Structure 1
Amino acid sequence: MTLGVPELLARYGRTYAEEAGIILRDEPSPLYRLLVLTVLCSVRISAGTATAAARELSAVGLRTPAAMLGARRRTLIEALGRAHYVRYDESTATALGRGAELLLDRWHGDLRRLREEAGGEAGRIGELLREFPRIGPVGSEIFRREVQAVWPSLRPYFDERALGEARALGLPGSPEGLAALVAPEEPARLAAALTRASLAHVGAAGA
């Protein structure tokens, strides 16, 4: 099967951050909202439900770790419920609270400090991200895939799922080869498109 990059981007090239209403910038609040989205995506739940939950949490003002840590637990549970993020609502509320506390205590609420501690290196950033409750290897890949849009030191970042889908579509199978197909700031969109295409194909195969 072959699929050109323009068609791939047009069909699937919306990042999870965009879907969640996050205008991603290299600033503490949008970076934290991306971290929250990553936590929400790190369970067996649809990306649509996770992004809807991220929007609900943002709508009630939980856009910083201080706001998250100070929020009433019922506020978190109700926001998650409005997004139908109900199976994991209690454990997610706990994970978000503990993660906010970690971010404030260790990096003063600013994920750019985490990046600095890691020297901007993708592998070390992934290790530090996995110190947050619930974020494992997949979650750390989601965050790095998305944040490369505003953290150029990570570009090009394509995880194994994206690379496997690229090969299946007849595209280059290396991060550098894929990055050469798009504008310098576009690897995040291409990585998201490949991920979504892969999930769409898995769903179709199981239908």
Structure 2
Amino acid sequence: MSTSSDRAAVAVERFGTTYAEQAGIRLKDKPAPLYQLLVLSLLLSARISADVAVAAARELFAAGYRTPRRMAEASWQDRVDALGRGHYRRYDERTSTMLGDGAQRLLDTDRGDLRRLHERAGSTRQIEEGLREFPGIGPAGAAIFCREVQGVWTDVAPYVDRRVSDGARRLKLPAGADRLAGLVDREQLPRLTAACVRAALDKSLTVD
């Protein structure tokens, strides 16, 4: 019988690609990739498939909107067009507005650098609250950001929300944050939580 560690390793190998990796974000504790993760978290928050959200993020980044300055300087229509190329059409106009407003807010409050938000926050809860001040980022978007960023903002780890726990149970893994995190090396935790999220969303995924 396989151990929980074995099952976790299989899950990471089979479907542990993070959404940031899928979107082409080389996540580091630097302003540009952190902002790109914020954009991706916003796109993933909508009631739309994750693949479409990722495709839309890739189109925005390919168009050059990789920093809040470039996003804010882009026209509303240019952002709509990039979202459309990623087939993010149902929410494209509203999302274009939120992207522009959010980029400007980040420039105005933290000089475009989410590390300042991190430095101010005394807890993960305060990070979540700070993220939710951006247009379009609600509890789901803040959770997506924290799940993915915990590999570089290590004080956030282990970040295991309800969706991760649900997926962990489906994979017959422990659902508690500390026990789940103990199954893999620290740098693999974002991939394990990503695998659990994918298992929660797609019932066909299994490690059997």
Task: Determine if contact 2:16/2:194 at 8 Å carries over to the other structure.
Answer: yes
- What residue number does 2:110 align with? 107
In 2: Cα distance, 1:168 partner to 1:67 partner? 41
Q: Give 2:48's match in structure 1, choosing from 25, 45, 53.
A: 45
In 1: Cα distance, 2:28 partner to 2:199 partner? 25
For residues 73-124 of structure 1, what are the alpha-carbon distances to aligned partners after superposition, in whole Å with 9 as ceiling and x for unaligned? Answer: 22111111111100100000000011011111111100000001113x2111
Task: Determine if contact 2:22/2:54 at 8 Å carries over to the other structure.
Answer: yes
How many Å apart are 1:22 and its aligned residue? 0.4
In 2: Cα distance, 1:182 partner to 1:8 partner? 11
Q: Give 2:33's match in structure 1, choosing from 30, 33, 37.
A: 30
In 1: Cα distance, 2:181 partner to 2:138 partner? 26
- Unpaired runs of 5+ residues, structure 2, are none
- Unpaired runs of 5+ residues, structure 1, are none
- Pairwise CA RMSD: 1.4
- What residue number does 2:168 align with? 166
SS of the residue corresponding to residue 186 of structure 2 reads coil
Q: Which residue identity is paired with 2:96?
A: A
- What residue number does 1:66 align with? 69
- Asked whether 1:92 is paired with 2:90, we answer no
How many Å apart are 1:138 and its aligned residue? 0.6
Q: Give 2:15's match in structure 1, choosing from 9, 12, 26.
A: 12
- Asked whether 1:57 is paired with 2:60, we answer yes
How many Å apart are 1:160 and its aligned residue? 0.9
How many Å apart are 1:175 and its aligned residue? 0.8
For residues 140-171 of structure 1, what are the alpha-carbon distances to aligned partners after superposition, in whole Å with 9 as ceiling and x for unaligned? Answer: 00000001111111111111111122133321
Q: Give 1:125's match in structure 2, choosing from 121, 124, 127.
A: 127
With normalisation by structure 2, the TM-score equals 0.93
How many Å apart are 1:41 and its aligned residue? 0.9
Moved >3 Å (runs of 4+) = none
Task: Determine if contact 2:60/2:66 at 8 Å carries over to the other structure.
Answer: yes
- What residue number does 1:76 align with? 79
Task: Determine if contact 2:151/2:186 at 8 Å carries over to the other structure.
Answer: no
In 2: Cα distance, 1:24 partner to 1:111 partner? 13
Q: Give 2:184's match in structure 1, choosing from 182, 185, 204.
A: 182
% identical aligned pairs:
53
In 2: Cα distance, 1:172 partner to 1:115 partner? 29
Q: Which residue identity is paired with 2:80?
A: I
SS of the residue corresponding to residue 197 of structure 1 reads helix
SS of the residue corresponding to residue 95 of structure 2 reads helix
Task: Determine if contact 2:17/2:194 at 8 Å carries over to the other structure.
Answer: yes
Q: Give 1:134's match in structure 2, choosing from 133, 136, 141.
A: 136
Q: Which residue identity is paired with 1:143?
A: F
